[in-house]
A and B are shown apart, each in its own frame.
Chain A
């Protein structure tokens, strides 16, 4: 089946630094990718929708200048957490859609755990 890969799977950084997380669709072209954030013992919260070649659409309450999303190709979307602080520590998950699919199955990455010291 289709595979979505995230990198890095975990990262530790100092407060004030920026961290980039990659989301790749390995065997299909993803016209749309979605970024989620998940705090411990909570559900996934949708942050933004990323469309190839255009600006991302952010959910209400998500700071677009804080969480920079780039979807420059049909197989890669990146999420950059700028000037990270301890409260940004979370599990970040992406999903990818090929669009027009019939199966109803959306593919998720393995997640990237960010810890900000």
Chain B
């Protein structure tokens, strides 16, 4: 079973920041937090991952709480092309177990 809880859907205005929350209260000390997204009828795309520290790359920022029981993915300036299902996954191997994800709809 997936170890994460995400809201089923969110909306975001184009150009605004999209903040996607994820709860992972049972995360183990050596498990990472991964974020992937899936645009309709495509394979998942890696976004970012982290262990304890906040992380940032060209796509997004990942904020992990100090107790590591939750995290937030931030898309700083959402575009229409960011409309997708976003999956938050915890683990420490390449065997990724997907939960139900958050369907993000970016509107004009």
Contacting B at CB under 8 A, from A63-92, are 91
Within the complex, the shortest CB–CB distance from A72 to chain B, in Å, comes to 20
Per-residue contact bits, chain B 37-61, to A (CB 8 Å; 1 contact, 0 not): 0100111111001000000000000
* B43:A49 contact, CB within 8 angstroms: no
B49, B87, B95, B99: the one contacting A104 at CB < 8 Å is B49
Bound CA span A91–B39, Å: 13
Check B107 for interface membership: any CB of A closer than 8 A.
no
Chain B contacts for A99, CB-based, 8 A:
94
Check B96 for interface membership: any CB of A closer than 8 A.
yes
* Given A43-B100, A104-B34, A104-B49, also A34-B44 (CB < 8 A): no
Chain B contact surface mostly: loop
Chain A contacts for B42, CB-based, 8 A:
110-111
Q: A46-B98, A49-B95, A111-B42 are in contact. List 20 more A-B contacts (CB 8 A).
A: A34-B95, A43-B98, A43-B100, A43-B101, A44-B44, A46-B95, A95-B44, A104-B34, A105-B46, A106-B46, A106-B96, A107-B46, A108-B43, A108-B44, A108-B45, A109-B43, A110-B42, A110-B43, A111-B43, A113-B41
User: Residues of A at under 8 Å CB distance from B?
Assistant: 4, 6, 32, 34, 36, 43-46, 49, 91, 93, 95, 97, 99, 104-111, 113
